[in-house]
Chains A and B, each alone.
Chain A
Amino acid sequence: MGQSNGPGDSRREMNGAGALWATLANHGITTVFGYPGGAIMPVYDALTFYPEVRHVLARHEQGAIHAAEGWAKATGEIGVCIATSGPGATNLVTGLADAMLDSVPLLAITGNVARHLMGTDAFQEADITGITLPITKHNYVVREVSELPRVIAEAIRIARSGRPGPVLVDIPKDIQLAAFAGEIPVPHARPEAPQPLPEVVARAQELLRSAQRPVMMLGGGTVDAAPELTALARAWDIPVITTLMGLGSFPSSDPLWLGMPGMHGSVAANRAISEADVLLGIGLRFDDRVTGRVNGFAPKASIIHVDLDAAEIGKIVRTHLPVRSDAREAALALTEGAQKLERPEWRAQIEEWKSRTVMPEHWGAGYAVKAVVDRLEPDDILSSDVGQHQMLAAQLARFEKPRRWINSGGLGTMGFGFPAAIGAGMAEPGVRSVVIAGDGGFQMTLQELATLKMYDIRNVKICIINNSFLGMVRQWQELFHEKRYSEVWLGDSNPDFVKLAEAYNVPGYRASNAEELPAAIDAWLNDPHSALLEVVVPNEHGVFPMVPAGAALYEMIETEAKAVSAEPTTSPTTAAATEEAKRA
């Protein structure tokens, strides 16, 4: 392989690979998640000279990148993952797309074939920068070894600054091996957060002052401004809705909190949006799962949209007052001179909606999820995978602090939850990192059970809600495809999850009914090791409330009973919702 620095590859005689680690170390990066291979071997070789950086060997590159995301989501710091060329690099694609949609600061480093082989369809060559162009904030191929540390430093800056996102740096193997003699850069200073213009703040305050039925809606861009936003809402006495990504930006225990909006949002949140006269949206991108049918979204409201990313403002919903600003800066500015305007009628209306929340009283997935989340401490990190269990957790858990709820919100990536919980758990070994997963999604990345053993990780608690179905898809088939359960039954082929865990030396527990559950939860949470709990629940439970795809938020189906009695439809339209709207 051309020149090799061999054992002489010490910090004194540095090659490109060494320069990479030195730059990462200079940037305070302590942990990276990865998987080796031919085209990245010099980097793994140089790693042995950098004991200050811990490398976590996942069992699949997808596991590595989701773990890096979990790390980033829990801490707000950049997550780093490493893969080899070709198949290693393409295994990162899902995680990059996930990080892109959820604005996760992430650095992905891939090896590539040597420069002279690039473009020749060489062994394990893939044009990873071409492949990931639309799903990265930016990406690079390093063309000269002298540029490598500068590119890494710049990639880290881009990933973290403004609206965060994933950046990929592809490093040809000959560059990893080439001698490097330059300076190792130190981190760029973080740019100052953009502040709202005073005249815009004044106009927003005017709107808030005149509002009879205001609501605030907080998205994923608000997680680092929770105290300021909480103060803002209380100062004006405005009810608060937090999106799936914003859960934790406002304490659930506050009477002003209305829950989550959208497809599986709370009655109070969705009705409040539909009736509001002023909607103050901060750090959210009005995802279609949040808005429902866009022209039925907040039909009576003047919308104030605060976002760091100018391109988000006006992208989906018409905005009456655009405010380009950092969430914290906007919160501080809007709080100054706030008037506590209690609106008793609005309050009363909201209390009535809130009283319509249905808590799961009978044995089923909701009951099980509630039993688990009720046992969590505010400091615990709760991750979820994607599906019914995710929506149930979002509906039933209490979120008192930001960065304690880890989710694949934008991409809805099955297989995300468990490795993300590992990343979060490794970032914060002092707290429990609990993940709720479905029997379907858990099987997409279950091989990471091995990672728990390998690094003696003791704080990851896996809860599998086993309904023997790809539950969320089954629910749609039930409601919109006349119960034609096409390819969603897992029951006959599911493994014995407890035995599976044990095969990886992870203790396993199981509960199959309401009586067994409390003791099983106790044993599972009190186990000094990371442990798995399988909860076997009835097959056909649905998640409600639900706004069918393509319907407006006010066309929500509030309870399962109403969904069942609604006319079955042959197409995924809103007939069921229309029925409900007529009755409401």
Chain B
Amino acid sequence: MTSETFQPQDHLISILVRDEPRVLTRITALFGRRGYNIRSLSVGNTEHPGVSRMTIVVSGDRGVVEQAIKQLEKLHDVVRIIDHSLEKYVDREMVLVKVSLTPETRVEVRQIAEDFRSRIVDVGRHALTFEVTGDEGKITAFIEQMRPFGILETMRTGRVALTRGSNADIPTQVYSGDSAALTPAVEPREEKARGVPNLF
């Protein structure tokens, strides 16, 4: 974490949390207080009632991410953390892009959108709104392609990720699904610690 070794870099982590009031504040406050930078954050429900899943892109060197994970580990609401750099994963992001149109650019803009397998979700007289889903590179490339025509506004969802393969990130023996299991069943730290590099 010293400045000599600081090379900002993006790291993708997923956090499974109990769906309790203030849990989002707890997580983001931890990042804020310790000075870790969140590049993107998306949150949603999971197939298990009572458990939400966040995908967070943290920027910083490896040390920052390890420290962030270790601090998150300590939060009582955190069920599990998955450091995606340790496993193969799929990730996606969605963006809505509103591009301004003139009669001259209309065909070209539509052609680019088609090349990106983008869908038109709204048609205005002077603008088209596209939906693009893909990895970060694809989305950035799409925006760059559209930029010369005039981008009116964009909204990105932030990345979401899942580990590849057939293992679920919440083992069913840890999470039986009913809310009574929220308490003792998720207790063992070892279970939570999987996915965190074990230096010890």
Q: Which residues of A contact B (CB under 8 A)?
A: 129-130, 133-134, 137-138, 141, 150, 154, 158, 162, 191, 196-197, 200, 295, 309-311, 313-315, 322-325
Q: How far is the CA of A419 from the CA of B189 in the complex (A)?
A: 36
- Report B67-117 residues with CB < 8 Å from chain A CB: 67, 70-71, 73-77
What are the residues of chain A within 8 A of B152 when measuring CB–CB?
A: none
What are the residues of chain A within 8 A of B187 when measuring CB–CB?
A: 191
What are the residues of chain A within 8 A of B189 when measuring CB–CB?
A: 162
Given known A129-B22, A130-B22, A133-B22, contact A311–B67 (CB-CB < 8 A) = yes
Partner-contacting stretch, out of B25-33, B46-54, B140-148: B25-33
Interface centre among B30, B63, B200 (most CB of A within 10 A): B200
What are the residues of chain A within 8 A of B33 when measuring CB–CB?
A: 134
List the count of A-B residue pairs having beta carbons below 8 Å apart: 46
- B2, B71, B76, B200: the one within 8 Å of A197 (CB): B200
Q: Which residues of B contact A (CB under 8 A)?
A: 2, 21-22, 25-26, 29-30, 33, 63, 66-67, 70-71, 73-77, 183, 187, 189, 199-200
What are the residues of chain A within 8 A of B73 when measuring CB–CB?
A: 310-311
Q: How far is the CA of A200 from the CA of B29 in the complex (A)?
A: 34
What are the residues of chain B within 8 A of A314 when measuring CB–CB?
A: 63, 66-67
Interface of A is mostly: mixed
Are A158 and B74 in contact, CB atoms less than 8 angstroms apart?
Answer: no
Q: How far is the CA of A315 from the CA of B21 in the complex (A)?
A: 29
What are the residues of chain B within 8 A of A150 when measuring CB–CB?
A: 183
In the assembled complex, the CB of A131 is this many whole angstroms from the nearest CB of chain B, namely: 11
In the assembled complex, the CB of B21 is this many whole angstroms from the nearest CB of chain A, namely: 7
Q: How far is the CA of A313 from the CA of B198 in the complex (A)?
A: 12
> Closest A-chain residue to B66, C-beta based?
A314
A313-B200, A325-B200 known; 14 other A-B pairs, CB under 8 Å?
A: A133-B26, A134-B29, A137-B74, A137-B76, A138-B75, A141-B21, A162-B189, A200-B200, A309-B74, A310-B73, A310-B200, A311-B67, A314-B63, A314-B67
Q: How far is the CA of A418 from the CA of B75 in the complex (A)?
A: 32
Are B183 and A311 in contact, CB atoms less than 8 angstroms apart?
Answer: no
Given known A134-B29, A311-B70, contact A322–B183 (CB-CB < 8 A) = no
Given known A200-B200, A323-B200, contact A311–B21 (CB-CB < 8 A) = no
Q: How far is the CA of A310 from the CA of B75 in the complex (A)?
A: 13
Given known A158-B76, A314-B63, contact A130–B200 (CB-CB < 8 A) = no
Are A311 and B200 in contact, CB atoms less than 8 angstroms apart?
Answer: no
Q: How far is the CA of A530 from the CA of B21 in the complex (A)?
A: 46
Q: How far is the CA of A148 from the CA of B184 in the complex (A)?
A: 16
In the assembled complex, the CB of A98 is this many whole angstroms from the nearest CB of chain B, namely: 17
Q: How far is the CA of A154 from the CA of B66 in the complex (A)?
A: 28
> Closest B-chain residue to A310, C-beta based?
B70
In the assembled complex, the CB of B70 is this many whole angstroms from the nearest CB of chain A, namely: 4
Interface centre among B70, B73, B77 (most CB of A within 10 A): B70
In the assembled complex, the CB of B197 is this many whole angstroms from the nearest CB of chain A, namely: 10
In the assembled complex, the CB of B60 is this many whole angstroms from the nearest CB of chain A, namely: 14
In the assembled complex, the CB of B65 is this many whole angstroms from the nearest CB of chain A, namely: 12
Given known A130-B22, A200-B200, A322-B200, contact A311–B71 (CB-CB < 8 A) = yes
What are the residues of chain B within 8 A of A137 when measuring CB–CB?
A: 74, 76
> Closest A-chain residue to B30, C-beta based?
A134
Q: How far is the CA of A200 from the CA of B200 in the complex (A)?
A: 7
